[in-house]
Amino acid sequence: MSGKIANLARAYRVTDGSTFRLKRHSPADTGPFGAADDEIAESMLSGSIQQMADLQEKLYAQDHWSVLLIFQAMDAAGKDSTIKQVMSGINPQGCQVFSFKAPSEEELDHDFLWRTMRCLPERGRIGIFNRSYYEETLIVRVHPEILARQRLPKGLVGKRIWSERFEDIAAFERYLSRNGVKIIKFFLNVSKGEQKRRFLARLDEPSKNWKFSAGDLKERARWGEYMTAYEATIRHTARPHAPWYVVPADNKWFTRLVVASAIVDTLNDMKLSFPRLTEEQREQLKLARSELTGEKR
C-alpha cells in the first residue's frame, strides 16, 4: 500500500491546458485507494506532513526560493479544512496565509493584481492564497456587474477582456517563476451533489450554521457557468512552471493526500539543502566553541 503514494499527485496535474476538459475529471475519484482505505491514507498523510516540515526547514534556511500555493474551489469544497490539515506541521514563522474576499474600495482603485502582489511570499517562505487573482476570471466572469465596479476605461472592456486577463496572469506567473517563486495551483473539484450534502450538514449542525449564507444558493444556481469559467481558466493558465492540480474533492481524506503529495513532490524537485559553511564560517564556529567551553559557568 505504501507504494500508492508515489507519483499520486501527478495524475491530477495539468501543465498544458490545450486539451483540458473538466468533465474528464471525476470529483469522486480516489485514485488507487478504495473507500475502506481512508485510514491508511490518513497515515500516509501524516508521513507527507512530516516530510513537508523537514523540507520547509531547508527552504527557510536556504533562503533562495519561495513557494506560492493557490486554492480555488466552489463553496463547501473544503479549502479551509484542507489548508488546516495539510499545513498542520509547518512552522508558522515560515508560512503566510491570505484569504481574498470581495475587494475593498482601495483595492478597486488599483489593477486587479495589486492586492495579491502585496501578499506574495518572501524568499524562504510558503505563501498560501485562499482564493486569489483567479477570482477575476471566475466570479467576475460569472457576474459582469463586478467588473463594472472596477471602473476601467470603457475602451479597455471589450470581447477580449477574459483572454487578456488570461494573458496577464500567465505573464505574471512566468515573471514570478523567473524570480524564484514556485507556484502550485489547486482546484478542489467537488461535485454538485456533494456540495448539496455539505450545505445540508451546515444547516443541520448549529456549530456550522455560521458557514452558510443565502448567497451560497445563488452561486450554486449558476453552477454550469462556474464550471465553464473554471475550465477556461485552467485551459489558458496551466503551464509547466505554474501547474494546476484538479483535485477530486468529494472525499476529503483523498483531497488532503493529493494536495500534500503535490507539495512534497514540488519541494523535493527543488533539491533543497541546508547552506554549506565557508572555511571562514567554520573557523568562527571553532572559536565560538572554544570560547564557550572555556567559560567557568
**Could you give the count of Cα atoms lying within 13 Å of 81 in the half-sphere of its Cβ?**
15
Query: What pLDDT does 5 receive?
Result: 63
Number of helices (H), then strands (E), in the chain: 12, 6
**Burial class for 77, CB neighbours closer than 10 Å (0-12, 13-18, 19+):** buried
List beta partners, residue 96. 127
pLDDT single digits (tens) 174-222 = 999 999 999 999 999 999 999 999 999 999 888 888 878 888 899 999 9
- Asked whether 209 and 202 are in contact (CB, 8 A), the reply is yes
pTM for the full predicted model = 0.93
Yes or no: say if 14 and 238 are a contact pair by the CB < 8 Å rule.
yes
CA 95 to chain centre: 13
Which residues are CB-neighbours of 198 under 8 A, at least 6 positions away?
76, 190
Write down the architecture of domain 2-293 according to CATH. 3-Layer(aba) Sandwich (3.40)
In the chain, what are the domain boundaries?
2-293
How would residue 4 be classed by pLDDT, with cut points 50, 70 and 90?
Answer: low
> Cβ neighbours of residue 216 under 8 Å, at least 6 residues apart?
75, 76, 199
pLDDT in tens, 251-266: 999 999 999 999 999 9
Average pLDDT for 116-135: 97
Query: 3-state class of 170 per DSSP?
Result: helix
